[in-house]
Chains A and B, each alone.
Chain A
Amino acid sequence: MKKGQRITGIVLLAVAGLVIQQAIFVLRINDGGQPGSGFLPFGLGIILAALAIALIAVNLGPDAEKSALWAAGAWVRPLLSVLLFAAYALALEKLGYIISVFALVFLWLMVVERKKWLQAVIPGILSAVGVWMIFGLLLNVPLPMGILAR
């Protein structure tokens, strides 16, 4: 766990460096004697850097008890679902929301939850119909129809 915290501290230190660089070179800290657009970001960058160093400092040394950040294979299902989200983002405007919703739920249940295809296809269809009724008919939210619009 301490290693994960130290890595987080280093990442945050890099973010702080980027914020300070932007505040100094891209934005204006002092805008004609008044606090400019980079004034608060500069201050926050400094505070973030100090906090990141403090986070690293309190997490130096080995862990008191062995605890891995990720238990064996625990990251697989979150990663698969993130990939499905990304696929949904890519497909939504091209295929339309009805097909994308069906595909998301169907694939989620097949790939992430390892359900049999019938246990996945029925919730997939029900979700697509449900979303169409709630968002399309009831709330009249303009969602992309994609290939079904033609």
Chain B
Amino acid sequence: MFDFHGLFTGFDIAFSLVNLLYAFIGALVGTAIGVLPGLGPAATIALLLPVSYKIGSPVTSIIMMAGVYYGAMYGGSTTSILLNIPGEAASVVTCMDGYQMAKKGRAGAALGIAAIGSFVAGTIGILGLTFIAPPLAEIAIRFGPPEYFALTVLGLLMATYLGGGSAIKGLIMVVVGLLMGMIGLDPISGAVRFTFGNVNLQGGIDFVTVAMGMFGVGEILYNLEKTEGVQLVTDKVKNLWPTLADFVRSRWAIVRGSVIGFLVGILPGGGAVLSSLLSYATEKKVSKHPEEFGQGAIEGVAGPESANNAAASSSFIPLLTLGIPSNASIAMIFAALLIQGVTPGPFLLKEHPDVFWGVIASMYIGNAMLLVLNLPLVGVWAQLLRVPYAYLAPIIALFTLIGVYSVNNSAFDIWLLIVTGILGYLARKLNFETGPLLLAFVLGPILERALRQSLLISAGSPAIFFARPISGAMMAAAVLFILGNLWASWKKSRESKVQPASVS
């Protein structure tokens, strides 16, 4: 029986004045950073972690951070449509048709359908979250260390492969992330690892530093290489309400985008980026006029924008029920919960029902707030794009530097930020995805504890991971996943070898 009482209690919490205020602040900040290129939701949530110490209440902090995350999904479309550069990664595909629509004088319709699609999909995503999360948490209660180890391995593998790009590079980032997470005291034996005599490293590296370095400073350094300016198509957006014909063309794209986004968002590594790409490909495939895609087809905006919002909502499912974050932004929210003394996972619903239901209920409210923020204020957001990056970059850098310092009041953390920032910059230059590194960094301690506890239970036999039904199924899925990908890349390399030969 569904726990309606829990949901109503959640609404009671979410409707308190303080929580409404923080949901609004989160949505507002999220939209702003979504609009502004250069600072993604993961780095912003990391930046807000020091603020969450001040807030005190875990439910209020998480409501704000969730607002930042789904707010960024909304805001990202504005930059894609008006500037042809994605405000954040999940809006990459919106550029293709959104910008073309803007060039034809239909920026208002593109922004309008993006906001409406986002609202509908976000709401569908939250409904799914409301009804799927509680039974999943019930199942997850039965998980022991072997299941957690298998789940973490599967999650990291999927994050690596689904993130796109080279599998070797993705796996390297996962291993580097796991190793970085081991710096400091071993949580089981208390041995000091990889500090090389530096006392400052004994407490380990803070995830705030890694997130801000990799996503914040690394991104700034990368953007500094580009000198050319970008041009707004228009900053006076009119006719935000799409026409009836636009609605008719977009309605199924929104529904399909919502379903795709919801399903992909649950997968580790899936998240908003992959779902928007999948939605775009699906829309192009099912369309009666695929030739219009890339020329300003409204379905090419409606589908992906719906998908990334549905995914943003459903990516909370593995976090709230299994304690496994599915992407870098959710990993930051996971870290924020840990700071507040709340461990996300199957016991969250029983131990902290206020957090569980409060966050879910606040997402309904936040989603409605975003629609109000995005439709009438789109002109204001467009004006924000007029701030030159030359001024924006030092301000983002400044907030990053102060944010990192304020976590431990230590100048050493600034040096670590610089090092991780350089690593993030080099990773971007060499086409290494930074997301898997951060995910592995956060999941590392869970993985190691589960591995060592499992081997302790089995007296050192790795058969324990395959003998138990749930962990066995997950390990089998992980093995199949690796073999499937190896086969796919082998086939791809064979085709690329055959093709030049046949051409010649």
Residues of A within 8 A of B (CB): 4-5, 8, 12, 15, 19, 22, 27-28, 31, 33-41, 44, 47-48, 51-52, 54-55, 58, 69-71, 74-75, 77-78, 81-82, 85-86, 88-89, 92-93, 97, 101, 104-105, 108-109, 112-113, 115, 123, 127, 131, 135, 139-143
Contacts and interface: CB of A to CB of B under 8 A. Distances in A.
Interface string B387-430: 00011011101100110011001010011011001100100011
Interface stretch (B170-178, B293-301, B312-320): B170-178
- The listed residue with most B CB atoms (<10 A of its CB), out of A28, A41, A104, is A41
B479 interface: no
Contact of B176 (A34, A40, A48, A101): A48
A139 B51 contact: yes
Interface of B: 50-51, 54, 168-169, 171-172, 175-176, 178-179, 182, 186, 188-189, 191, 193-194, 217, 220-222, 224-225, 390-391, 393-395, 397-398, 401-402, 405-406, 409, 411, 414-415, 417-418, 421-422, 425, 429-430, 447-448, 451-452, 455-456, 459-460
A92 B405 contact: yes
B224 A86 contact: no
Contacts of B188: 37
B194 A22 contact: yes
Contacts of A143: 402, 405-406
Nearest to A114: B390
Given A85-B421, A143-B406, A78 B225 contact: yes
7 contacts: A19-B194, A41-B179, A48-B176, A70-B429, A82-B418, A82-B422, A89-B414
B397 A104 contact: yes
Nearest to B222: A78
B168 A92 contact: no
A113 B409 CA distance: 30
A47 B175 contact: yes
A86 to B, nearest CB: 6
Contact of B394 (A52, A108, A139): A108
A47 B179 CA distance: 11
Given A81-B397, A89-B415, 18 more contacts: A19-B179, A34-B456, A36-B191, A37-B186, A37-B189, A41-B182, A71-B225, A78-B225, A81-B221, A85-B417, A93-B411, A97-B402, A109-B390, A127-B394, A131-B402, A140-B54, A141-B402, A143-B406
